[in-house]
Structure 1
Amino acid sequence: MTFAESIRICFNKYADFNGRASRSEFWWFALFTFLVSAALNIINRSGTLSGLFSLATLIPSLAVGARRLHDTNRSGWLQLLWFIPIIGWIFLLIWDVQDSDKEANRFDTAA
């Protein structure tokens, strides 16, 4: 999956918390949000534009994160571990870089 495809898919599935997201889809979208936020911070030092962008991409970021966890056969609710400093972050980063569950799992969408 390319950078542009990932961004398009994440915005097309703006609030879709069902299904699965590949590792590349998740990480390309994370890179996109980071780069745009950094660029907006440089353009507008007050952080207003970056804050508005972060607010606009909050739902798609949570959705792709949930779909990524589904791809590793874990519940999207585990994203709440972001609120546990260091230990929660380590677990989520390990799970996000983990290979996809190749077999069908409980989060596959019905055809």
Structure 2
Amino acid sequence: MPQAIYPAPLAAMLVASAGKKYRPSNGTEGEIFISHWCFACQRDKALREDRDVFECDDNERCDIVGNTMCYDVDAEQYPKEWQIGDDGQPCCTAFVPAGDPIPSPRCEHTLDMFAEAP
């Protein structure tokens, strides 16, 4: 898991905001977040391996970073994956450590036939 980017006292103040969308306050904070999360994520080969995004297959690029720059944090299209974590630190809930397989998406409308009974 990537390291924390906020000092502990600031993160402690943000614990109450857990689950809310995160937007870096400036370009420097954005670069720090991206270098800690996106550069270490299996979902984005373009950032991880410094490749041209147009040379990557669709399954080798992540649109989250671009969408955070295109939409206002209050817009419905702003990625919900960038949020304040339970510890008050900004995080990306779509993060997959580089080298790990990307989990297959599961349809939320399909019943799980193999789940344990309540």
Which of the five TM-score ranges fits, normalised by the shorter chain? Answer: under 0.3
TM-score, scaled to structure 1: 0.26
Structure showing the higher helix proportion among its residues: 1
Higher percent of residues as strand: 2
Who wins on radius of gyration, i.e. which is larger? 2
